[in-house]
């Protein structure tokens, strides 16, 4: 079995693969923890899911939070007994990274691109709804170019709440209509439907710039909600990042 972890600024997603099958996955808050705390959390999750930790023969991490990455690596080593592979642009990814400064690309963006090309072909745009919303473009000849970064939906809600006197902190539920008939409904419309328009506009401009017609794959916490209002998102794949980690691990251990 394979242990995969995607460490983001807000959440850490963990998965266990048995071959190509994702048999368990969890979503934790990305809080500062010691290696012992993380090791205990992990062994507890495995025990609850009745997964024998001795059956795990490999692990891989993508991370945009270096202190947490180190704590997880040490915790996995101490409690599971494994050295963990860490995703880097220098690895064999199966795509050609054409970013001007590859070291600046978030590992999760590369992982998503690898999974999207493998499962959906190219050209493809991956939209990841995380702490930030990222759009990543891979050309028809599998060249990762980069993309666009915007504030995440939750960050937008918190900005409205924190900087206005009368606007409430609302949950990001799917709006029933575009024209909101209450303050909370209006905020949901402005953010959810507004981000759908943002995505559609960026996708159209990227496709025009490249002269291609890419598929658009969405992932991340708010992907399903926004996809309902988007005319350009073709597929929502909630496990895209975990699947990309599995593919990279296999590609770099063969």
Catalytic residues: 108
| Six token digits for residue 7 | 């460490």
Rounded-to-integer distance, Cα 34 and Cα 193, Å: 40
| Whole-number Å distance between alpha carbons of 124 and 85 | 26
Give the CA count within 13 Å in the CB-facing half-sphere of 200: 13
Structure tokens, 148: 């666009």
The CA–CA distances, whole Å, from 96 to 47, 93, 102, 119, 205 equal 39, 8, 11, 17, 22
Token duo for residue 89:
């642009």
Region of 17 (left: φ > 0; alpha: ψ -120 to 50; beta: rest) is beta
């Amino acid at each position: 079995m394979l242990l995969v972890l995607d460490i983001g600024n807000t959440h850490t997603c963990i998965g266990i693969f048995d071959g190509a099958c994702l048999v368990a996955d969890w979503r934790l808050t990305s809080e500062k923890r010691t290696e012992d705390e993380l090791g205990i959390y992990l062994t507890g999750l495995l025990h609850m899911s009745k997964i024998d930790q001795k059956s795990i023969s490999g692990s891989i991490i993508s991370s945009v939070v270096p202190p947490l990455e180190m704590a997880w690596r040490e915790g996995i080593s101490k409690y599971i007994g494994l050295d963990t592979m860490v995703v880097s642009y220098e690895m064999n990814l199966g795509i050609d990274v054409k970013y001007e400064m590859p070291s600046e690309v978030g590992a999760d963006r590369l992982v998503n691109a690898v999974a999207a090309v493998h499962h959906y072909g190219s050209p493809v745009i991956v939209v990841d709804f995380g702490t930030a919303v990222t759009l990543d473009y891979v050309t028809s000849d599998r060249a990762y170019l980069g993309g666009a970064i915007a504030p995440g939906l939750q960050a937008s809600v918190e900005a409205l709440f924190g900087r206005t006197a009368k606007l409430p902190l609302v949950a990001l539920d799917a709006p029933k209509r575009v024209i909101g008939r209450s303050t909370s409904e209006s905020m949901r419309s402005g953010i959810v439907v507004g981000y759908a328009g943002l995505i559609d506009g960026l996708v159209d401009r990227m496709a025009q710039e490249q002269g291609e017609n890419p598929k658009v794959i969405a992932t991340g916490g708010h992907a399903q909600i926004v996809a309902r209002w988007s005319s350009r998102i073709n597929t929502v794949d909630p496990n895209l990042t975990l699947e990309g980690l599995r593919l990279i691990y296999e590609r770099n251990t063969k």
